[in-house]
Structure 1
């Protein structure tokens, strides 16, 4: 398994997005999103793309995991962990040694145990409010 940074194209994004049953946005919207993404990480098995994740954020205080997709055949085989580890290593490389930054996401219910194993906390938690989002159309 190989992880490549910033190799994700709009076409590949749409292929991986559909592979997990999500209704994809249009190609133009994906291209714009990729232009404004801090970094992408794509997993390849013998040259075949099998998973992706985008990292967005301000580069200083806040980072956000978006569009994390692993094709079903490769789920629960360590591919997601490799992507998260690569993404976290990248963040550590670009921030100052004494900085603390937030890494956030919105999880599906099924993926909560995976993220908890990777050190993420569920929201709501005892000391803070819930993670929230709103779709604007």
Structure 2
């Protein structure tokens, strides 16, 4: 299995929905227009491919000089524990550079994962939840 990582190929909305559904990432997979807009409005997307199959994605919003919000990290369950998630984050760090911090909101099932790959848990964040 040879995985190719790309930052210049945005997957189709259908590919994203399939990956998010497989990986059980809680995103609006029933609303393809919203998924499409999520990607159109992101300014850093790094993908992992096994030939033509999307097996991982890291979607971010960044200003490139201070902060990078890692909005989505998804890996196909068949490819978990193969280092794809870690590699996607490493490539994100390379793209945004040393002066830019990476921050995220974790899904409950990934709370143990992020500290293992270098993230520090923060207790000083705040959220205004969406109504839809």
Q: Same fold (TM over 0.5)?
A: yes
Total equivalences in the alignment: 127
Q: 1:111 maps to what in 2?
A: 110
Question: 1:20-99, aligned counterparts within 5 Å?
Answer: 20-21=23-24, 22=26, 23-92=28-97
Q: TM (normalized to structure 1)?
A: 0.80
1:133 positional shift: 4.8
Say which is worse superposed, 105-114 or 80-89, in terms of deviation: 105-114
Alignment pair present for 1:122 and 2:121:
yes
Coordinate RMSD, CA, aligned:
1.9
Q: 1:132 maps to what in 2?
A: 127
Does the CA contact (< 8 Å) of 1:6 and 1:39 recur in 2?
Answer: no
Unaligned runs of 5+ in 1: 93-98
Does the CA contact (< 8 Å) of 1:16 and 1:71 recur in 2?
Answer: yes
